[in-house]
Structure 1
Amino acid sequence: MANTAQARKRARQAVKQNLHNSSQRSTLRTAIKAVRKAIEAGDKEKATAVFQSSISTIDCIADKKIIHKNKAARHKSRLSAALKALAA
């Protein structure tokens, strides 16, 4: 248990921040799954549209340092490669 007022406040803030970050990570996973689902359905136009919105979400979450920028780049690269494979 925190012994000082400062430590108690930091503990409260950590709980609140953890909930926010968890929500953001969930949004990220949902965006990635939406692209995967559109690619599996074989609809190139829909997959491209969902991909563009997902890229925006991934970049936003990486900018907030909820995930590392390299992890964001890896997700974008893999989704892009899957989208290109659909076109071929």
Structure 2
Amino acid sequence: MLNEKIENGNLQVNVRQFASPTDRGFLTGLVHEGIIAGISIAAILGSILLMVAESGPMLAQNLRLYQFFGYTLALGGFIFGLRSLVRILITRK
């Protein structure tokens, strides 16, 4: 029966990708970590733009509001990046 299908060219094979819940969980985790890394990179780049801005109201003698937002955003981006790095290193053990 299998030989007949091969000879006639009617052999069909169905493969279901990510059929296992473990495979789907791995892919979902990978996508989530990629999104968090992207947000972290965007936050750090945005913070650099804010830190070098020479505009905005003054908060202190040498600190503008946009620079303060930049430092705060850089801290958030650093924390997100560090979280992502720690999760990758813990998962590999």
TM-score computed with the length of structure 2 as normaliser:
0.48
Return the index of the structure with the highest Cα Rg: 2
Q: Which runs of 5+ in 2 are unaligned?
A: 1-16, 86-93
How many residue pairs align between the two structures? 65
What is the alpha-carbon distance in structure 2 between the residues aligned to residue 54 and residue 17 of structure 1? 23
Equivalent residue number for residue 79 of structure 2: 63
Displacement after TM superposition at 1:29 (Å)? 0.5
Q: Which runs of 5+ in 1 are unaligned?
A: 69-88
Alignment of 1:16 onto 2:7: no
Displacement after TM superposition at 1:66 (Å)? 5.6
Equivalent residue number for residue 54 of structure 1: 70
TM-score computed with the length of structure 1 as normaliser:
0.50
**What is the percentage of aligned positions where both structures have the same residue?**
6
1 or 2, which has the higher strand percentage? 2
Alignment of 1:45 onto 2:61: no
Dislocated runs of 4+, deviation >4 Å: 1-4
Equivalent residue number for residue 86 of structure 1: none
